[in-house]
Structure 1
Amino acid sequence: MWAILRASKPIRSQSCCVLVMRFLYAKPGASSNFGYGEHQHSKDDQLNVACHLTRPVSCVCFLPQVSLVWARELSSQVKSRSIDKDDDLEDGFSELEEPPETDNIVEHANMDDDEMVSEGDSTGEDNDDAGEDALGLPDTKSKYGEKVVGRKNQSSPLFKVIIEASRPSLSNALDKWVEEGNSLGRGEISLALLNLRKRRFYGKALQFMEWLEATKRLDFGEREYASRLDLVAKVLGIQKAEKYIEKIPSSLRGEIIYRTLLANCVSAVNVKKAEEVFNKIRDLGFPLTVFVCNQLLLLYKRVDRKKISDVLKMMEKEDVKPSLFTYRLLIDTKGRINDISGMEDVIAAMKAEGVEPDLYLQAMIAKYYICAGHNGKAEAALKDMEKGDISDNRAACKSLLPLHASLGKVDDVRRIWNVCEHNPRLEECLAAIEAWGNLGNIEEAEKVFEKMMNSWKKLSSKYYNALLKVYANHKLLSKGKELAKRMSDSGCRIGPLTVDALVKLYVLAGEVEKADSILHKALDQNQIKPLYSTYICVLEKYTERGDIHNAEKMFHRLRHMGYVGRMRQYQLLLQAYINGKTPAYGFRERMKADNIFPNKAVLAQLHAVDAFKKTDILELLD
């Protein structure tokens, strides 16, 4: 049997969970739960327990972001991998597991169509979550990151028509396209939807699918309905998605439909609704799949690590075999709480099951070794990634560059970049800019950027953002301003990642008020949804100052933008009151009203705030 779990003894300030495989627990005295206590399930293994947030624990060392893949995939892709992938890709409605980056992701469900045009191939990230991000139509990458079909750069005349048409005129533009005798086969539809999703033009993608259904240009089956359901959830929200399900013919209301809804509930961190959908899946008698289990693991990894044990026990009971993605989740969970021994137990068990880590997972493992100070193990992991001659393993270069930089290995960064430099790929350039920036070699980072500018006619804002982040990290405000002007002159559109980079540029330079202004203007003028991490960056500065007024303002902006249910913002706001030496009256009640339950760290903060409470005598004297 694949795995069982147990809990390590709780660490004072962490909700620490240790996963081990059954054969690793032949030790006497090993306990059998993953968190602080056991959860009892009904005979149907339904999850209906309250959610208690735990304090996010992350490494503080300066490392490249190797984000956990957040699986925002349509469930149709979770079938056996023995099915022909090309068939799935051809029909255009099977969806692949894919990140969100980071630690983000997730954050873009309600964005306006046009805002991500220059950043559509990048994923926004939240430092605590990665993101899970886009749930795209068939991408050119499988869920493990390898290429499966060379469609990424295929042009689509239909996509161009959709993009150029305004929303009110889109139906007329599509009618005209058909009247002119242009092809509207399944392949062309699939490619257009792929490009729309890849650039996060979810609104227009939904309009396009509505037109296809209304004009009967496409026969809708379960996967087509699931694809439209996903777009409804992204653009209009979970409630509208639930109503749309009622319109789907009952004969086509299968497990793919509900798994798609579950994925969107998890993406929105809607714990209550996600558990309701899971129970619905069980009530309808659909088989428990690794996809469903992975979605629950994603959810509880973010909000309540203690419940990971419940999901793993359920998987064992139902004989659900873990996928490579399952192991990624568990390894990432262990790495984030700095439990290197537990992480290695998972790796050993994974290999014992015959599952070999891919490059992405190898990079993640190396990152956590570096973060924990196990440099020798990290170097061994990087050597395994290189597989001898790095020139024969170009795919590893983009991961190796920032990892070697985190170890301070200037010679290794230069050696790997020399392999790429004569014919670089864009992702390798991004990695090199990050690596040289981490090493403090601003000049080399700028050289790589200029090489990109000279090699490609027009770069999206994603590539400017890489250098902008370097300038921000080194407090080079004037250079950052110059680069921002170049971005403007080149016609780059502002998206969440650009706003994030600009805000952090000013915050790290000590100009938090200017950063706050940029954030406010970006929201008002560009109608974009800034990243969670962008707000948190500003909130942290106000917290340091003990600026309660502005901290409260930023906290309410987070709530207004839909960023709720995360402990971090409550911790920061409480700390602002502590730093400002002011009592936070009614804070416990505020948290309770938001269904947020304090962990040990927050309880300590609440106690500290209570210490500022005035006595009755002092109240009278005032």
Structure 2
Amino acid sequence: MWAIRRSSSSLKKQGFISRSSRISCMMNKVTGRYSEGNSEGISNEISDQYLSFRGFCKTAHGSSKLFLGWQKNFFSLVGTKSSSEIDSNLDDEFSELMGPTVTKGMLDKNVEAELCKDDVDGEDVEMPHDKLELSDSESDARQGESLREKVPMELLKAITAAPVLSLDRVMDEWIEKGNDLTRTEITFIRIYLRRRHMYKRALQLFEWLELKRQLIFTDKDYASHVDLIAKVHGIHKAETYVERVPNSFRSEVVYLSLLANCAYKGYMKKSEEIFNKMRNLGFPLTSSVCSHLFLLYNKKDKKKIVDVLLLMKKENVKPTDIIYQILIDAKGQSNDIAGMEQIIETMKAEGMEPKMYTKSIIAKHYIFGGLVGKAENVLKQMEGEIEENHMVCRHLIALYANLKKVDDVRRIWQLCEPNARIIDCMTAIEAFGKLHKIEEAEAVFDKMSKEGKHLTSKHYYPLLCIYASHKMLAKGKDLVKRMSESGCPIGPLTWDGLIRLYIKAGEVEKADTILQKAAHVTCLKPKFTSYVAVMEEYAKRGDVHDTEKIFYKMRQAGYVCRIHQFQCLIQAYINAKAPCYGIADRMKADNVFPNRVLENMLLQSDPFKKTLLTC
């Protein structure tokens, strides 16, 4: 089983960025892990013992002794026209397009629909991170189906229809009428709300249950409550609640809920702190814990995957299909197709056949690796599952669009169309847009708008992005007006589409104005990508003043500074041929450390660098 390790190649062959010794030293000072020579020791050790990757373990700061004493140190401690000069006629135009914006009063009814990541038309939604969430497991899904007939639909409809702040009144009235509220009903309602990402409503329900003592809480109930608090109010509030949980119920599952949310949000240091606390409390290492760590490190620091693999070997924890799925994706992202295939073979040897979502990941990496034949073979296998699993269609449509196969996209859509759900329509719209079939994308949107129960801005967004990418400004504005006339709240997704629409049309100043107005219209801040899109355009122009302005506005909006923001900023100075004083100190103050690309840009923009004339 552990032979997967032998299939992989080194990080350098996979194209990972190798930092210079100076940068490694900077990183080591931050993480508290100092290099004491090369990492061949750990690499050789793992190659003989563990299901691992040479690419993950050959780092600049590895040590084969790292996990022998995990209790103490298991993880690291870790000149252009500005927007203010735009003609005032844009104000009227913007006001017209904005329509019914999401205000504080509307937040209760509309924010869940605006922020929902998936469809809410009653279907079962599959998201990669959902599989790792405590309360959204496959067993919960099956349990929800078995409980459906035992729950009064009147109560469920009242809960989903009521504004969030009125949920207490709905529940009080239900009890006052003499109705009972059983654990069976509560379980089904919890599953129903969570699977539709109606987290604020579910949290309000749990708070009412705890306040009114309508449910005798178990450790799993407390864990669900922690999960909902983390999703709605953030990790800090969830941690505070954990301290209030009675000691007898503060079990592993409660901390696992907290770890799951930290890992999904990418909070590496906090995730490691929670993991260490779980270990110090004596909780055993489980595949669920490892799954969340793999998910975290696959996004944040792939080199640390080997650390988790080593500990799994030491604790004799067997990989699950979810762990295999994450490892396959990690190998594909690092362009190691041979290593990915070896993992697949080992997975099959362990009696685990790749599921539909895993097959879609495999096909995706084959496509982007240029292995079209292998990708088509996987897609043919997936097509054989259409009758058993309706969700296969949406994956096939997206993958065939990546292969630029118009006929196959049409063929799968024709199979899917009679029973198409809203999320299927959105996938088809994106696919046809990618293939430049605008009329077909519009036809699918018309079908969705006629049959959909209630469209939100996220349902308009794919078509708005298509108009933006094809520089169809007039159609984009008409679509936003159509949203306004239908009573759909205009929020961050719509602003993002409008901003991209104006940028593609070459009117970055108007995009900037929309961004600034949107930041003050509502308590929902514009998307991170909206700021970045405007910032990139200013950087291309060499407009230092406005690039710095957007950089400041992002910080003001609460977005953490990242490498890409500094890349845009430095690029603006380079394009303007202006000196970039103190940028290294600014990066250091924000705990941003340069990769190879950024380091080269720093050298290029250094006002004190030596030239042939100064030497």
User: Following TM superposition, by how much is the alpha carbon of 1:3 offset from its aligned partner in structure 2, in angstroms?
Assistant: 5.6
Q: Does 1:35 align with 2:55?
A: no
User: Following TM superposition, by how much is the alpha carbon of 1:399 offset from its aligned partner in structure 2, in angstroms?
Assistant: 1.3
Alignment partner of 1:285: what SS?
Answer: coil
Alignment partner of 2:335: what SS?
Answer: coil
Residue 47 of structure 1 corresponds to which residue in structure 2? 74
User: Following TM superposition, by how much is the alpha carbon of 1:284 offset from its aligned partner in structure 2, in angstroms?
Assistant: 0.7
Q: Does 1:508 align with 2:513?
A: no
Structure 2: distance between partners of 1:438 and 1:412: 14
Q: Which has the larger displacement, 312-321 or 190-199?
A: 190-199
Deviations 1:76-132 (A, max 9, x none): xxxxxxxxxxxxxxxxxxxxxxxxxxxxxxxxxxx9773232552528xxxxxx974
Alignment partner of 1:321: what SS?
Answer: coil
Residue 413 of structure 1 corresponds to which residue in structure 2? 409
Contact residue 359 and residue 396 of structure 1 kept, 8 A: yes
Q: How does 1:583-594 map to 2 (within 5 A)?
A: 583-594=579-590
Residue 252 of structure 2 corresponds to which residue in structure 1? 255
Which stretches of structure 1, 4 residues or longer, exceed 6 Å deviation after superposition? 19-26, 133-137, 143-148, 150-155, 612-615
Residue 380 of structure 2 corresponds to which residue in structure 1? 383
Q: How does 1:206-225 map to 2 (within 5 A)?
A: 206-225=203-222
Structure 1: distance between partners of 2:516 and 2:287: 42
Deviations 1:370-417 (A, max 9, x none): 2222222222221221129x6676442211112222222222222222
Q: Does 1:361 align with 2:358?
A: yes
Structure 1 unmatched runs, 5+ = 52-110, 124-129
Structure 2: distance between partners of 1:330 and 1:565: 29
Structure 2: distance between partners of 1:152 and 1:466: 33
Residue 433 of structure 1 corresponds to which residue in structure 2? 429
Structure 1: distance between partners of 2:435 and 2:159: 44
Residue 420 of structure 2 corresponds to which residue in structure 1? 424
Structure 1: distance between partners of 2:438 and 2:56: 50
Residue 15 of structure 1 corresponds to which residue in structure 2? 17
User: Following TM superposition, by how much is the alpha carbon of 1:272 offset from its aligned partner in structure 2, in angstroms?
Assistant: 1.9
Please tell me whether Structure 1 or Structure 2 has the larger radius of gyration of its CA atoms: 2
Contact residue 545 and residue 579 of structure 1 kept, 8 A: yes
Alignment partner of 1:184: what SS?
Answer: coil
What is the number of equivalent residue pairs in this alignment? 547
Structure 1: distance between partners of 2:519 and 2:267: 24
Q: Which residue of the other structure, out of 577, 586, 604, is the alignment partner of 1:581?
A: 577
Structure 2: distance between partners of 1:506 and 1:152: 47
Residue 475 of structure 1 corresponds to which residue in structure 2? 471
Contact residue 165 and residue 173 of structure 1 kept, 8 A: yes
Residue 330 of structure 1 corresponds to which residue in structure 2? 327
- 1:242–1:544 CA distance, 2 compared to 1 (3 A): same
Alignment partner of 1:527: what SS?
Answer: coil
Residue 55 of structure 1 corresponds to which residue in structure 2? none
Residue 304 of structure 1 corresponds to which residue in structure 2? 301
Structure 2: distance between partners of 1:159 and 1:146: 18
Alignment partner of 1:117: what SS?
Answer: helix
Deviations 1:551-594 (A, max 9, x none): 33333344444442643333333323322333332222222222
Residue 371 of structure 1 corresponds to which residue in structure 2? 368
User: What TM-score do you get using the length of structure 1 for normalisation?
Assistant: 0.77
Structure 1: distance between partners of 2:606 and 2:173: 68
Q: Which has the larger displacement, 232-241 or 145-154?
A: 145-154
Structure 2: distance between partners of 1:482 and 1:241: 43
Contact residue 461 and residue 498 of structure 1 kept, 8 A: yes
User: Following TM superposition, by how much is the alpha carbon of 1:319 offset from its aligned partner in structure 2, in angstroms?
Assistant: 1.5
Deviations 1:479-513 (A, max 9, x none): 11111111222222334433333332233232333
User: Following TM superposition, by how much is the alpha carbon of 1:150 offset from its aligned partner in structure 2, in angstroms?
Assistant: 7.7
Structure 1: distance between partners of 2:134 and 2:314: 33
User: Following TM superposition, by how much is the alpha carbon of 1:254 offset from its aligned partner in structure 2, in angstroms?
Assistant: 0.8
- 1:395–1:268 CA distance, 2 compared to 1 (3 A): closer
RMSD between superposed Cα atoms in Å = 3.8
Structure 1: distance between partners of 2:609 and 2:363: 47
Residue 104 of structure 2 corresponds to which residue in structure 1? none
Structure 1: distance between partners of 2:56 and 2:198: 46
Structure 2: distance between partners of 1:530 and 1:137: 30
Structure 1: distance between partners of 2:461 and 2:55: 47
Contact residue 324 and residue 343 of structure 2 kept, 8 A: yes
Q: Which amino acid aligns with 1:15?
A: I
Q: Which amino acid aligns with 1:33?
A: C
Structure 2: distance between partners of 1:283 and 1:589: 38
Q: Which amino acid aligns with 2:16?
A: Q
Q: Which has the larger displacement, 288-297 or 40-49?
A: 40-49
Residue 269 of structure 1 corresponds to which residue in structure 2? 266
Structure 1: distance between partners of 2:502 and 2:560: 25
Q: Which has the larger displacement, 272-281 or 448-457?
A: 448-457
Residue 29 of structure 2 corresponds to which residue in structure 1? none
- 1:374–1:42 CA distance, 2 compared to 1 (3 A): closer
Q: Which has the larger displacement, 432-441 or 217-226?
A: 432-441
Contact residue 14 and residue 335 of structure 2 kept, 8 A: no
Task: Give me the identity figure in percent.
Answer: 47
Contact residue 34 and residue 309 of structure 1 kept, 8 A: no
User: What TM-score do you get using the length of structure 2 for normalisation?
Assistant: 0.78
Deviations 1:316-369 (A, max 9, x none): 221112222222222222222333233223223322322221221211222222
Structure 1: distance between partners of 2:13 and 2:108: 43
Contact residue 56 and residue 303 of structure 2 kept, 8 A: no
